[in-house]
């Protein structure tokens, strides 16, 4: 059972959880659910406290629900899915990922790009390059959030060694929505990015590297990796384009 109405202490705890994780716009409480939105992330979330001491977060963002990797709980409440945490520490541990996905999915980078480039001239090549740089900066920023600031292959987390790798290159995309879709990007260390961008490496549907015959044995040996890429179906769709573009044959 949800504590309703929330006590002053519980309401303050909910506010701290939400505010510290990017959801700083509180709305009215309804049936024990405290409602929050964000100026930088898409979707809403609700926080509630159970009489037994657990905490529940409800989410209405389909992208978060599909990729958060948590098991939803049964029972009524707002949003598309609800997740229970035994204590505040577990709730705090999960919330950063909620925000990272909310600022990345489904089209938050595109909306930020449209906002930042509204009114910018695009008549000349130089002006179009300025707009492109804005988009590429936003794309990198949101890929950093989505991949949690770490190359998923190698574990490298030094920002200076990480590259925002388009799966389908900017010039080949059909729209700005496709260019700024985080599922059209991988956050790779610089060496892996160079190999991927040139087609010397691609990835299968399980996220394992595929090496081109044009890559030397020495180069292949230098491309060390720890774990396969964790991929969504949308990543797999884009990677099938990459494999076809560079004439990979499925292994």
Give the pLDDT confidence score for residue 249 in this predicted structure: 78
Domain that holds residue 77: 8-102
Q: Are residues 23 and 140 in the same domain?
A: no
Residues 200-231 pLDDT 10s:
999 999 999 999 999 999 999 999 999 999 99
Tell me how many domains the chain contains.
2
The CA distance from 215 to 210, in Å, is 11
Residue burial 24-57, b: 16+ Cβ < 10 Å; e: rest: eeeeebeebbbbbbbeebbbbbbbbbeeeebbbb
Per-residue pLDDT of 59-118, as tens digits, reads: 999 999 999 999 999 888 999 999 999 999 999 999 999 999 999 999 999 999 999 999
- Is there a single domain that holds both residue 95 and residue 131? no
Show which of 102, 135, 170 is a domain's final residue.
Answer: 102
- Whether residue 198 lies inside any domain: the answer is yes
* Longest distance between any two alpha carbons in the chain, whole Å: 66
| Same domain? 64 vs 128 | no
**Nearest to residue 101, comparing CAs of 74, 60, 68, 132?**
68
Asked whether residue 112 falls in the same domain as residue 223, the answer is yes
Has residue 183 been placed in a domain?
A: yes
């Amino acid at each position: 059972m949800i504590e309703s109405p929330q006590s002053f202490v519980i309401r303050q705890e909910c506010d701290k959880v939400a505010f510290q994780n990017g959801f700083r716009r509180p709305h009215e409480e309804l049936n024990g659910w405290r409602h929050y939105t964000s100026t930088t992330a898409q979707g809403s979330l609700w926080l509630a406290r159970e009489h037994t001491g657990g905490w529940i977060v409800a989410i209405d963002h389909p992208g978060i629900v599909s990729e958060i990797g948590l098991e939803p709980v049964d029972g009524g409440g707002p949003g598309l899915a609800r997740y229970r945490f035994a204590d505040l520490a577990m709730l705090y541990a999960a919330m950063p990922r909620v925000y990272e996905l909310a600022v990345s999915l489904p089209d938050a980078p595109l909306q930020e790009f449209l906002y930042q480039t509204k009114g910018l001239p695009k008549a000349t090549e130089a002006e179009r390059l300025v707009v492109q740089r804005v988009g590429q900066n936003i794309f990198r920023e949101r890929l950093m959030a989505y991949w949690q600031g770490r190359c998923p292959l190698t574990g490298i987390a030094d920002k200076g060694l990480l590259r925002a790798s388009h799966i389908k290159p900017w010039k080949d995309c059909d729209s700005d929505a496709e260019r700024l879709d985080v599922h059209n990007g991988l956050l790779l260390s610089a060496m892996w990015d160079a190999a991927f961008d040139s087609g010397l490496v691609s990835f299968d549907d399980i996220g394992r590297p595929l090496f081109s015959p044009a890559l030397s044995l020495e180069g292949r040996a230098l491309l060390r990796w720890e774990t396969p890429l964790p991929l969504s179906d949308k990543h797999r769709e884009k990677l099938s384009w990459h494999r076809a573009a560079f004439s990979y044959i499925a292994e």
